[in-house]
Amino acid sequence: MSGLRVIKPGPLSLLQDAGRFGWQHLGVSPAGPMDPLAMAWANRLLGNPFGCPVLEIALGGVELEAENTLWVALAGADMPLDVDGEPRRNWSRFRLEAGQRLQVGFARSGQRTYLAMADGIRAEPVLGSVACQLREGLGGLGGEGAKLAEGDLLQGGAADFPRGASVPWPWQPDYKAAQLMRVLLGGDAASFAEEEARAFFEQPWQLSPQSDRMGTRLQGAPILAPQRQWSQGVVSGAIQVPPDGQPIVLMADRQTMGGYPILGWVHPLDLGRLAQCAANQVLRFTPMSLEDAQEELREFYRFFGR
């Protein structure tokens, strides 16, 4: 068994796996990674199955000490990485010797990076998952929904590799680029006035600082939503339009029911890019077909072996 001792936990570092599914009828959020693509690459670099538990590091500021020789992989936001002062590359796997310290600096672009260990980080599942959900007190290292703390021990497998490896640069997302999010129209879209739905796609939106793992809030010229008198089940990526006309995109820690009208859903893979956007970043949205989204998701899951 390999281990990383937590010296500095950072502002918000959470254990996540593919998510907690099968409990939404009881109001339990699925949680899981905010950026599934970055998480999938971190696991792939170590030969882990899709959805193996990883550490989701928000913003950075983490320091970990290896208790024995082990391999780690990191993928996601552009955070400076070094081992005992020697720089390491992001989107890569590398070896840590016993006693060496891995420092993860604060993000220069993007918001979250993912640290994987061989065979996944060990923790006892709660309702079938180790995904940490702070609001509901589920998952994490101790099973009670707590974020990483100083002194915690991250345990993983002891696999060995002949050399390091990196994700080819064309496959690494550019979090600094202007972000265009693709949308699948549906839900209550037909009930929106044509000019209101068109306004959503024609104008730029700013990412509100009041965004978190539960939902991403957009700021712009308000759009008028139709009235709806009932609540219904919701999924990640749903674009809700509340009475103030400022849309909310539901994210990993979303609620399971909602009463606001839904204009559509952000493409599941674009949600990861959305989760990497900083406050006040300008965003635009464009419609896409269900068939194109399904084909892209099939390709994604085939590649990562889900």
**Pair 42, 153 in one domain:** yes
Choice among 9-13, 163-167, 226-230 with the minimum mean pLDDT: 226-230
Q: Is the model's pLDDT at 156 over the cut of 80?
A: yes
- The whole-number average pLDDT for the span 92-102 is 96
Q: pLDDT (tens digit, 9 = 90+) per residue, 108-137?
A: 999 999 999 999 999 999 999 999 999 999
**Pair 11, 83 in one domain:** yes
**Pair 287, 191 in one domain:** yes
Q: pLDDT (tens digit, 9 = 90+) per residue, 221-271?
A: 999 999 877 888 999 999 999 999 999 999 999 999 998 999 999 999 999
Q: Is the model's pLDDT at 178 over the cut of 90?
A: no
- The whole-number average pLDDT for the span 204-227 is 95
- Residue 110 gets the label, from left (phi > 0), alpha (psi -120 to 50) or beta, of left
**Pair 74, 143 in one domain:** yes
Residue at which a domain ends, from 171, 198, 226: 171
Quick one: pLDDT at residue 1?
66
Residue at which a domain ends, from 171, 203, 227: 171
Mean pLDDT of all residues belonging to the chain: 94
Query: What CATH code is carried by the domain that includes residue 183?
Result: 2.40.100.10
**Pair 148, 242 in one domain:** no
**Pair 38, 149 in one domain:** yes
**Pair 129, 202 in one domain:** no
**Pair 128, 194 in one domain:** no
Q: Is the model's pLDDT at 25 over the cut of 80?
A: yes
Q: Is the model's pLDDT at 290 over the cut of 90?
A: yes
Residue at which a domain ends, from 122, 139, 171: 171
Q: Model's pTM, two decimal places?
A: 0.95
Quick one: pLDDT at residue 157?
86
**Pair 17, 140 in one domain:** yes
Quick one: pLDDT at residue 160?
87
- Banded pLDDT at 159 (limits 50, 70, 90): confident
**Pair 96, 217 in one domain:** no
**Pair 138, 200 in one domain:** no
Q: Is the model's pLDDT at 299 over the cut of 80?
A: yes
Separation between Cα atoms, residue 251 and residue 278, nearest integer Å = 15
Q: Is the model's pLDDT at 306 over the cut of 70?
A: no
Q: Domain limits at 193?
A: 179-304
Quick one: pLDDT at residue 110?
95
**Pair 35, 154 in one domain:** yes
Kindly tell me the burial class for residue 158, based on how many C-beta atoms sit within 10 Å of its own C-beta (0-12, 13-18, 19 or more): middle
Separation between Cα atoms, residue 130 and residue 66, nearest integer Å = 22
Domain tally for the chain? 2
- The whole-number average pLDDT for the span 137-152 is 95
